[in-house]
Chains A and B, each alone.
Chain A
Amino acid sequence: MIKGTRNILAAAALLAWALSSQAYAQGAQGCILLKSTAEIVKEVVDAKGVKTVTMVPAEKVVPGVEVTWTVTANNVCKQPSEKVTINNAVPAHMSYVASSAFGAGSDITFSLDGKTFGGPAQLTVTENGAARPAHADEYKHIRWVFKDPLAPGASAVARFRAVLN
């Protein structure tokens, strides 16, 4: 009798644990909401000739214009998210603007091939048989690794600029 109960209790415990793990996993899945925007600078000159600069959504952009990309990760769960890493490829037909990547509390690295990531000093290109540092406009991917956990309700922001070719 006792043995049976223990088995049932064990099974129930196992089941409870399994259920809570599942709930935990489901929570992890939807815990970060990621939002991406593209904006360009708009200069407005008022009647007095005073210039103000605002950012407006980039929808139709001509070559040569700089687009500011902003990615926001928002933790919507009650648990902190750790090892938050945002990845963004440099968009097609665009060139990354050197030193424009920004993300408070993050280490930022770049990649030419999507596999190996490093800082500007570590990225090299072979040209005419010799290795040289990669130029910023040759970067293809950007990665922000946030050092601290993202608290519930908090947001982490990653930003960079790229010029339309």
Chain B
Amino acid sequence: MKSFRFSALSGAVALALAFSANHAHAVGVAAGTPIDNTATVDFTVGTVTSTASSNTVQVVVAEILDVDVTAPSAQTQVAPGATGKVLSFRVDNLGNGSEAFLLVANNSVAGSAFDPIAASPAIYIDSGGAPGGTPDVFDSTDIPYVPGGNDPLLIADGHVYVHLVNNIPTTAADGNLGRSTLTATARTGSGAQGTVINGGGTAGTDAVVGVTHALDLAQGEYIVQGVTITVTKSQAVVDQFGGAHPLPGARINYTIVVNSVGTGTAATAVFADNIPAGTLYVAGTLTLNGGPLSDLTDVDAGAYETTPQPRVRVQLGNLSQSSGTQTIQFAVLIDNTP
């Protein structure tokens, strides 16, 4: 009976996240700042020079509500079925007063080949480098986000990193793109530019929605780096009499061709094939790509094992399309004993 096993750990390479250095900066004087202006006049009546002051006019700086969300600039490479894959975004408060922002993630983006599956929790606020952690990078110090509970509060021109954590469907194929968006909305208000929220600003001044409408979203992308391994097995029977009859004592030469297609890598691939019932392995016949492998479990890639049952086993390392075809050969004898 033909049976063989092929196992591999699907590997994926995560690119280092690179952020554009060009972040928009907050405009302006702090919200709540009072600005006083008094004019003076000098004049002469007859021979007497005098001076007068105007009333003092006060203008109070209102709070402008503006936000910018930046997505990771590079795609995150993932394997099908991968879990806990992170997209890191940056949220900037472009206004002139402290503001809290509501965060919403969306994994159903039109045009994506697959929808990332939100992990639980799905959104984390970066801890900013709490002890044991790295600032701006997802790690165990980062805080699960609770909408309305711990909306990030950013000072004017302040920012925070927000991490979306998703799982990749096992059905995602090599080259597929999956997208997640993060939307940040100012809690004081959002909408048409110029919308005024009376008294909604810092220090009781008014808040005014700015040019960004006080909300912004950005999109991050996963790209599936899949690899499809095909294994093709063929055999040639050579009997003791120079023919090809599968008689007791005849030899079966097996050839297995392992082919990798795709942009991904199968990490630590191992080929294993049971010696068929009614046959015996011919010692010393195991080869990989024409090179002999010792039967013993040792430093080379191949071995003939007897537990849990007789089988040959060949380690193929990290297989990718660029590894090229791998050819394994071994021989068995059809058992003489009835």
Hey, which bits of chain A sit against chain B, CB under 8 A? 24-25, 27-38, 58-64, 67, 69, 71, 73, 77, 79-89, 91-94, 150, 158, 164-165
Q: Which of B37, B54, B63, B208 contacts A35 (CB 8 A)?
A: B54
Contact in complex: A37, B57 (CB < 8 Å)? yes
**6 further A-B pairs in the complex, CB-CB below 8 A; given A28-B46, A38-B37, A82-B44:** A31-B43, A32-B41, A60-B205, A71-B39, A92-B35, A164-B59
Alpha-carbon distance between A89 and B35 when the two chains are bound, in angstroms: 12
Contact in complex: A88, B43 (CB < 8 Å)? no
Q: Sample 19 A-B pairs with CB under 8 A, ordered by A number.
A: A28-B48, A32-B41, A38-B59, A59-B59, A60-B201, A61-B60, A62-B61, A63-B27, A63-B29, A64-B64, A80-B45, A81-B44, A83-B42, A85-B41, A85-B42, A87-B42, A88-B39, A150-B43, A164-B35
Q: Contacts A62-B208, A88-B37, A91-B59 given: A27-B45 contact, CB under 8 Å? A: yes
Chain B residues with CB under 8 A of A24: 45-46, 48
Alpha-carbon distance between A25 and B50 when the two chains are bound, in angstroms: 9
Task: Find residues 11-54 in chain B having any chain A CB closer than 8 Å to their own CB.
Answer: 27-29, 33, 35-46, 48-50, 52-54
Q: Contacts A88-B39, A164-B61 given: A83-B44 contact, CB under 8 Å? A: yes
Chain A residues with CB under 8 A of B44: 28, 81-83
B62 touches A (CB below 8 Å)? yes
The residue in chain B whose Cβ has the minimal distance to the Cβ of A80 is: B45
Contact in complex: B57, A63 (CB < 8 Å)? no
Alpha-carbon distance between A89 and B29 when the two chains are bound, in angstroms: 18
Chain A residues with CB under 8 A of B54: 34-36, 71
B210 touches A (CB below 8 Å)? yes
How many chain B residues touch A (CB < 8 A): the figure is: 37
Q: Is the interface of A mostly helix, strand, loop or mixed?
A: strand
Contact in complex: A86, B29 (CB < 8 Å)? no
B139 touches A (CB below 8 Å)? no
Alpha-carbon distance between A71 and B63 when the two chains are bound, in angstroms: 27
The residue in chain A whose Cβ has the minimal distance to the Cβ of B48 is: A28
Chain B residues with CB under 8 A of A35: 54-55
Chain B residues with CB under 8 A of A87: 39-42
Q: Is the interface of B mostly helix, strand, loop or mixed?
A: strand
Contact in complex: A62, B28 (CB < 8 Å)? yes
Alpha-carbon distance between A34 and B57 when the two chains are bound, in angstroms: 12
Chain A residues with CB under 8 A of B43: 28, 31-32, 73, 81-85, 150
The residue in chain B whose Cβ has the minimal distance to the Cβ of A36 is: B54
Alpha-carbon distance between A150 and B44 when the two chains are bound, in angstroms: 10
Chain B residues with CB under 8 A of A58: 59
Alpha-carbon distance between A77 and B29 when the two chains are bound, in angstroms: 42
Q: Contacts A31-B50, A34-B53, A62-B63 given: A73-B41 contact, CB under 8 Å? A: yes
Alpha-carbon distance between A35 and B52 when the two chains are bound, in angstroms: 10
B96 touches A (CB below 8 Å)? yes
Q: Which of A27, A36, A61 contacts B55 (CB 8 A)?
A: A36
Alpha-carbon distance between A34 and B53 when the two chains are bound, in angstroms: 6
The 5 closest A-B pairs by CB, nearest first: A63-B28, A28-B45, A36-B54, A34-B54, A60-B62
Contact in complex: B29, A79 (CB < 8 Å)? no
Contact in complex: B64, A62 (CB < 8 Å)? yes
Q: Contacts A34-B53, A34-B54, A35-B54 given: A63-B35 contact, CB under 8 Å? A: no
Chain A residues with CB under 8 A of B59: 38, 58-61, 67, 91, 164
